[in-house]
């Protein structure tokens, strides 16, 4: 476990490893300015400890009499910095060697190498942001689509914290009322307060369930979904992958068995990161390669969030189609009839009996692809309107804490309904608010911080 020692001044390379135009070495802590003084040589002999906050200065990093790099140095004084400590950022040339030499020079002068996420950890521990905001930082860095970025930025701004805090306040108010009626248990007071308690409790539960309702979409927007395309050979699976990607990724030929192995690609469909897998057609394998390809395709179907079963409009449904329908019965499926540009021989009515959703399109002619994209969005969002203003919870730690709180509030609500004495559920309410506190990091352990920040990059 990392022992947080705020007397340490930490340093790290904050930019990505590899060649770049600029690379940044960042320092944070009580000695940041003094250590920068020791290595920075600026114009007119001015030193970083004399610089005003939020100013940038040209100079050189000199160590052991040797010029290491030509740099621009920025000073951000406590408490108005990322960590609320004195922070110095040294913009170097982005070469790996130059950056490491500058980093070494500040380490030699008393900095300690920062652990992953330690700058953000300090921002949290010094009270600049709460834990859910700290967690948003890594999600911003990892965001795969605009929507994922939007969720994380909202969380960093404190959007989630505000929602959680509203629920916490309601619970605290209920607890105040309960404490009062336990202290003065006259019947009148009890009678009157119960309805108020019950109303407030319902409101807290409603807000909690709204947050949890958005969690599935939140998770998906953050982590994406895995979609697998399957179907008989030659129905146009690879053509559909290409149409969705809007490029020729998979080889398409009129020969059955062209796709020998599964092909995976990442696509952004209306803000949803979709990992899409084109499989070899499920068929009676003729040799070892095909047997393995089919086995792999089945594996993908089992692990996917959603399966697209493709049918050929110009062919009657065959035994292999029905076998596939049977195999995917317990999974989330969208049925797609491809090749609508050809004369139709398929019995669509039969498919509508089995599938909740049937989309008709032509992969080759790129017709109606948007209908499939809409169906995918519908699957993700269900019928819920997800507006950008609505906070979507996307972090598993938050979701599980919210679920625990929900269980406790449900208990409390049924105890209230059963007219059990108020003492029976005050503890549930207290426990529920502890779970909410955990999301914000009002209640945390060093272990938890280690786990959260282990995911971060060094220098953030
Ligand atoms: N007419 C027509 N042909 C298509 C369509 N989609 C695919 N094909 C053709 O069907 C054949 C098999 O396509 P392919 O994508 O390789 O099928 P896969 O074996 O399921 O991957 C190719 O000759 C494609 O050009 C379509 O929408 N209309
Ligand atoms: Mg194919």
> What tens digit of pLDDT does each residue of 202-238 get?
999 999 999 998 887 888 888 888 999 999 989 999 9
Question: What's the CA gap between 118 and 235, in Å, rounded?
Answer: 52
More confident: 92 or 387: 92
Is it the case that residue 381 has pLDDT exceeding 60?
yes
Question: What's the CA gap between 183 and 180, in Å, rounded?
Answer: 5
Whether residue 120 contacts residue 458, with contact meaning beta carbons closer than 8 Å, is answered with: no
CATH 1.20.120.430 boundaries in the chain? 137-214+392-441
Q: Residue 384 — very low, low, confident or very high, per pLDDT cuts 50/70/90?
A: low
Whether residue 237 contacts residue 231, with contact meaning beta carbons closer than 8 Å, is answered with: yes
Whether residue 98 contacts residue 84, with contact meaning beta carbons closer than 8 Å, is answered with: no
Q: Tens of pLDDT along 24-47?
A: 999 999 999 999 999 999 988 899
Question: What's the CA gap between 346 and 230, in Å, rounded?
Answer: 17
Question: What's the CA gap between 381 and 368, in Å, rounded?
Answer: 20
Ligand 1 centroid to Cα of residue 443, in Å, is 57
Ligand 2 centroid to Cα of residue 288, in Å, is 18
Query: In this predicted structure, what is the pLDDT of residue 389?
Result: 52
CATH 3.40.50.300 boundaries in the chain? 223-381
On the 0-12 / 13-18 / 19+ scale of CB atoms within 10 A, 392 is: buried
Choosing from 239, 258, 311, 371 the residue with most ligand 1 atoms within 8 A of its CB, the one to mutate for a pocket test is 239
Is it the case that residue 259 has pLDDT exceeding 80?
no
Q: 189 to each of 2, 184, 185, 414, 428, how far by Cα in Å?
A: 51, 8, 7, 20, 22
Domain topology for 137-214+392-441: 1.20.120
Q: Which residues contact 181 (CB under 8 A, 6 or more apart)?
A: 189, 190, 193, 422
For residue 338, the ligand closest to its alpha carbon is: 1
Which candidate, 187, 178, 215, places its Cα nearest to that of 412? 178
Question: What's the CA gap between 70 and 48, in Å, rounded?
Answer: 15
Q: What backbone phi and psi angles, to 5 degrees, belong to 86?
A: -65, 130
CATH architecture entry for 10-130:
2-Layer Sandwich (3.30)
**What does 401-425 look like in DSSP terms, one character per residue?**
HHHHHHHHHHHHHHHHHTT--THHH
Question: Could you give the angle at which helices 396-417 and 215-223 cross, rounded to 10 degrees?
Answer: 170
Count CB neighbours of 42 within 10 A.
16
Count CB neighbours of 188 within 10 A.
8
Domain topology for 223-381: Rossmann fold (3.40.50)
Please give the helix or strand (H or E) that residue 206 lies within, else none. Answer: helix 187-213
Query: In this predicted structure, what is the pLDDT of residue 88?
Result: 98
Ligand 2 centroid to Cα of residue 314, in Å, is 17
Is it the case that residue 269 has pLDDT exceeding 80?
yes
Choosing from 234, 249, 359 the residue with most ligand 1 atoms within 8 A of its CB, the one to mutate for a pocket test is 234
CATH 3.30.1360.120 boundaries in the chain? 10-130
Ligand 1 centroid to Cα of residue 275, in Å, is 21
For residue 259, the ligand closest to its alpha carbon is: 2
For residue 254, the ligand closest to its alpha carbon is: 1
Q: Which numbered atom of ligand 1 lies nearest the CA of 256?
A: 19
Whether residue 244 contacts residue 366, with contact meaning beta carbons closer than 8 Å, is answered with: no
pTM of the predicted protein model: 0.76
How large a percentage of the chain has pLDDT more than 70? 94
Whether residue 290 contacts residue 260, with contact meaning beta carbons closer than 8 Å, is answered with: yes
Query: In this predicted structure, what is the pLDDT of residue 193?
Result: 57
**Could you tell me the end-to-end alpha-carbon distance of the chain, in angstroms, rounded to an integer?**
18
């Amino acid at each position: 476990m990392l022992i947080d020692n705020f007397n340490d001044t930490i340093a790290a390379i904050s930019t990505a490893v590899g060649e770049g135009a600029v690379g940044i070495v960042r320092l944070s802590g009580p000695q940041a300015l003094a250590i920068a003084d020791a290595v920075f040589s600026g114009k007119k002999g001015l030193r970083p400890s004399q610089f005003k906050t939020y100013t940038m200065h040209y100079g050189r990093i000199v160590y052991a009499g040797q010029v290491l790099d030509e740099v621009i140095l920025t000073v951000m004084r406590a408490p108005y910095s990322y960590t609320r400590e004195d922070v110095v950022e040294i913009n170097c040339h982005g070469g790996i060697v130059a950056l490491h030499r500058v980093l070494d020079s500040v380490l030699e002068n008393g900095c300690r190498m920062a652990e992953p996420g330690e700058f953000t950890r300090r921002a949290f521990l010094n009270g600049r942001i709460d834990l859910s905001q700290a967690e948003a930082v890594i999600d911003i860095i990892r965001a795969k689509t605009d929507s994922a970025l939007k969720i994380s930025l909202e969380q960093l701004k404190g959007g989630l914290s505000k929602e959680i805090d509203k629920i916490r306040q309601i619970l605290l108010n209920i607890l105040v009322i309960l404490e009062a009626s336990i202290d003065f248990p006259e019947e009148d007071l009890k009678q009157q307060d119960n309805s108020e308690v019950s109303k407030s409790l319902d409101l807290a539960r409603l807000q909690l369930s709204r947050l949890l309702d958005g969690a599935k979409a939140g998770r998906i927007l953050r982590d994406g979904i895995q979609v697998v395309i399957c179907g008989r050979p030659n129905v146009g699976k690879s053509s559909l992958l290409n149409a969705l990607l809007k490029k020729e990724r998979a080889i398409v030929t009129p020969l059955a068995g062209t796709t020998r192995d599964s092909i995976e690609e990442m696509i952004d469909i209306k803000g949803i990161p979709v990992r899409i897998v084109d499989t070899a057609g499920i068929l009676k394998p003729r040799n070892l390669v095909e047997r393995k390809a089919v086995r792999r395709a089945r594996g993908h179907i089992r692990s996917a969030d959603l399966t697209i079963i493709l049918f050929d409009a110009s062919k009657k449904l065959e035994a292999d189609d029905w076998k596939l329908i049977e195999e995917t019965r317990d999974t989330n499926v969208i049925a797609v009839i491809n090749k609508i540009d050809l004369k139709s021989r398929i019995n669509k009515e039969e498919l509508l009996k089995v599938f909740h959703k049937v989309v008709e399109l032509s992969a080759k002619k790129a017709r109606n692809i948007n209908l499939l994209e809409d169906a995918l969005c519908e699957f993700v969002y269900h019928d819920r309107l997800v507006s950008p203003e609505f906070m979507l919870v996307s972090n598993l730690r938050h979701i599980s804490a919210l679920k625990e709180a929900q269980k406790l509030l449900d208990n409390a609500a049924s105890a209230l309904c059963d007219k059990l004495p108020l003492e029976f559920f005050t503890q549930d309410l207290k426990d529920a608010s502890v779970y909410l506190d955990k999301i914000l990091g009002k209640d945390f352990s060093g272990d938890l911080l280690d786990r959260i920040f282990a995911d971060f990059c060094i220098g953030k």
